[in-house]
Amino acid sequence: MSKLLTKIQTAKIKIGTITKELKNEFGGFSYASLNTVFRQVNDALEDVGILVDFESIVINPTLTEICKHIVYDYKVNVVDLESGETINKTFSFPADDEGKKMKLIQACGSCITYSTRYIYGSIFSIQFENDPDSSSAEQGSQKTNNKPGSNNTITSWLNPNTEEWSKTLSWCKTKKKSLDDAISLIEGLGISKKNRELFIEQLKAA
């Protein structure tokens, strides 16, 4: 596994910072197109000999029930083409069409686009120039559109004193989930380290 980890670290350095070349006039923020991300990431992966394989996209019934949106699990394999070493990861994102005039298939397509960008960013710690998500994460924004896979940060979606927090905590208690299962669930939803510790504390106190 050490060879693959070394290659991932080398790829991170080669990818560097990705410039946001497009601007959303309605939202007032800049962003990097998926093509730009693909081009910069794929060049680095080709150089080091790594393949990122999107194995499958399946509905996660547990998160779908909690979020009240269809939530997809993206099963991703990071493979060293030389040694065959593999790291398996699963990421969860909703097809969120709330407040938008789009069909479900369009919402799913939009979800895949944003999710792919976030997945690459997570695996290779990609930094984006003038990233609006950075400030959002620090502020722990609790806006209604701050859901996993949205334009805002995915790491601060689950916050205390919110409806999502209460529903998730209640669901874990009602279903009598083990601590490990509960941790896996909240990390899939997107939660900061501080909120993770608070959630576990409240779950244990139940």
Average of per-residue pLDDT across 184-204: 75
Q: What is the pLDDT of residues 15-32, one digit of tens each?
A: 988 888 877 665 566 777
Q: What angle do CA 59, 65, 70 make, to 5 degrees?
A: 40
Query: By C-alpha distance, which of 61, 128, 51, 54 is closest to 90?
Result: 54
| Candidate from 42-56, 120-134, 189-203 with smallest mean pLDDT | 120-134
Residue 80 CB partners (closer than 8 Å, separation 6+): 3, 4, 7, 49, 50, 86
| Candidate from 36-40, 51-55, 120-124, 165-169 with smallest mean pLDDT | 165-169
pLDDT at 151 over 70: no
Q: Identify the pLDDT of residue 87.
A: 94
Calpha distance 206→190 (Å, rounded)? 22
Radius of gyration of the chain (CA): 18
Q: Identify the pLDDT of residue 72.
A: 83
